[in-house]
A = this chain, B = another copy of it.
């Protein structure tokens, strides 16, 4: 299945290879908008709870999301088997209307596993794939290695590829020079940046905008700032909980209502930090329960919140006027 010629190319060519954009123009593919990176509810026995997953998606219908990221970091993709990863995408596609984009996380550590997963995700109904940086051998994940990796994935992918940099989990920030090179590939359409360094994000936008490359903020914490420097949307964990509010922030930014946008942004920062950096996925799932969604259990080794953590989490939502 994995083509013999690819490996030859990998090992036989000089690592100074820089992808040159072919004369064919980029297929227009617009990723602008807000996406929740949906959580994967588990049963008490740590099995995927497809019923709760689908119930959440039905509930999300009322919210003007552009689509859904399935198996971003918040989907606990690292804890799913290969088969589960594909099956979850298939089940999501069944429920989600055609006009909503499904962006499926297909990143694995090896290039060949990433390509295989990408093919399967596309077959299961993903409209695009989100490919996290491989990171285990981080000392050797140079710009050159990452450029080779992504080019091979994009060359083989039947659907558009979105790069994904999430240093809090991977310990690796996809370098700006690699992003600029990759932005010229016709099948690489954008970047989800979860690092939140707004100067870096502004620079990436500045250096790639002429090729139609698009940037999505990887968190609701810097969504307004992201729009201010030219991002076109966000993949925001908080949108699992306060989806309508995150979409409202998008609307305010797009329509230049900066003062109201600022006020709303301010009230979203603490809840966002609480369901990401501070309490992680267990915090996200707990908060979902309060807002009518099904968070469900986490898979081990993630632990459920303690009583004290639950109280702290609730206070964050209460103090900012959301509960």
Which residues of chain B are within 8 angstroms of A227 by Cβ–Cβ distance? 228
Q: Mark A158-170, 1 if CB is under 8 A from B, else 0.
A: 0000000000111
B-chain residues with CB within 8 Å of residue A81 when the two chains form the complex: 113
Among B45, B144, B219, B221, contact of A8 (Cβ-Cβ < 8 Å): B45
Interface check A265, CB cutoff 8 A: yes
With an 8 A cutoff between CB atoms, is A140 at the interface? yes
What band does the interface of chain A fall in when counting residues whose beta carbon is under 8 Å from B? 35 or more
Is A25 on the interface with B (CB-CB < 8 A)?
Answer: no
How far apart are the CA atoms of A78 and B230 in the complex, in Å? Answer: 36
Chain A 103-143 interface 0/1 with B at a Cβ cutoff of 8 Å (1 = within): 00000011111000000000000000000001011111110
Contact A8 B44 (CB under 8 A): yes
Query: How many angstroms from the CA of A99 to the CA of B232 in the assembled complex?
Result: 42
A58 to chain B: which residues have CB within 8 Å? none
- A145 to B299 CA separation, bound complex (whole angstroms): 11
A282 touches B229 (CB 8 A): no
Is A323 close to B, CB under 8 A?
no
Does A93 lie at the interface of the complex (its beta carbon under 8 Å from any beta carbon of B)? Answer: no
Contact status of A139 and B168, CB under 8 A, knowing A45-B8, A228-B262, A297-B11: yes
Known A-B contacts A222-B198, A262-B228; the reply to A140 vs B203 at CB < 8 A is no
User: Do A280 and B110 form a contact, CB below 8 Å, given A199-B196, A221-B202?
Assistant: no
CB within 8 A of A230: which of B142, B219, B266, B270? B266
Q: Are B228 and A228 in contact (CB under 8 A)?
A: yes
- Min Cβ gap A70→B in Å is 17
Whether B281 pairs with A7 at a CB distance below 8 angstroms is: no
Contact residue among B137, B205, B269 (Cβ-Cβ distance under 8 Å from A78): B137
Q: Is the C-beta of A55 less than 8 angstroms from some C-beta in chain B?
A: no
Residues on B with beta carbons closer than 8 Å to the beta carbon of A301: 110-111, 134, 141, 145-146, 148-149
Q: Please give, as numbers and ranges, the residues of chain B lying within 8 Å of A144 by CB-CB distance.
A: 303
The answer, yes or no, to whether A277 is at the interface (CB within 8 Å) is yes
Partner of A225, one of B15, B145, B229, B299: B229
